[in-house]
Amino acid sequence: MSTLCGHSLFFCKIIMKKIYHLATCDTSRKILKEVGAEKKGAALQDIKTEKITAAQIDEMKKMAGSYEALFSRKALKYRSMGLHEKQLTEKDYRKLILEEYTFLKRPVAIVDNAIFIGNTKAVVEALKAAL
């Protein structure tokens, strides 16, 4: 997507850099520092203090291919709610992520048309390169 930058002959590319994270999570903080998120102009959204909207999760799903790909089974509530014993549908994953921020696999970063989900070494390295 391009936009006119005030001069009729010049165009600038709008670069989207957004990272959904949990500010109280040591792993998220470490990753944000490692990839240089703030220095590289990424917009940060702490999902605990600024809840994910339906539009945001739907956009992430379009990029990721499924709500399940965005869902964290490591969340403490996953087992305590007995979810490990249920067959969850895409509708269930979406609803749970919107209701409880800890169900979003973190961090989720969107850089232009690419999405980076989770904290594996490979994902963090790919995010670092993309930023």
The pLDDT of residue 1 is above 70: no
pLDDT in tens, 39-84: 999 999 999 999 999 999 999 999 999 999 999 999 999 999 999 9
Q: Quick one: what percent of the chain has pLDDT higher than 70?
A: 89
Give the pLDDT mean for 85-105: 97
13 confidence band (pLDDT: 50, 70, 90): very low
| DSSP letter string, 6-61 | SSTT-EEE---EEEEE-TT-HHHHHHHHHHTTTTTT-EEEETTTSPPPHHHHHHHH
Could you tell me if residue 5 is inside a domain? no
Task: Provide the CATH number for the domain around residue 54.
Answer: 3.40.30.10
The pLDDT of residue 3 is above 60: no
Using CA atoms, how far apart are residues 44 and 37, in angstroms rounded to an integer?
Answer: 8
- Give pLDDT, residue 16: 83
Could you tell me if residue 11 is inside a domain? no
Could you tell me if residue 56 is inside a domain? yes
Which CB contacts under 8 angstroms, 24+ apart, belong to 81-85?
none
The pLDDT of residue 104 is above 60: yes
pTM for the full predicted model: 0.85
Could you tell me if residue 3 is inside a domain? no
Tally the domains of the chain: 1
Could you tell me if residue 108 is inside a domain? yes
Owning domain of residue 61: 17-130
Could you tell me if residue 6 is inside a domain? no
Mean pLDDT taken over the chain: 89
Give the pLDDT mean for 92-113: 96
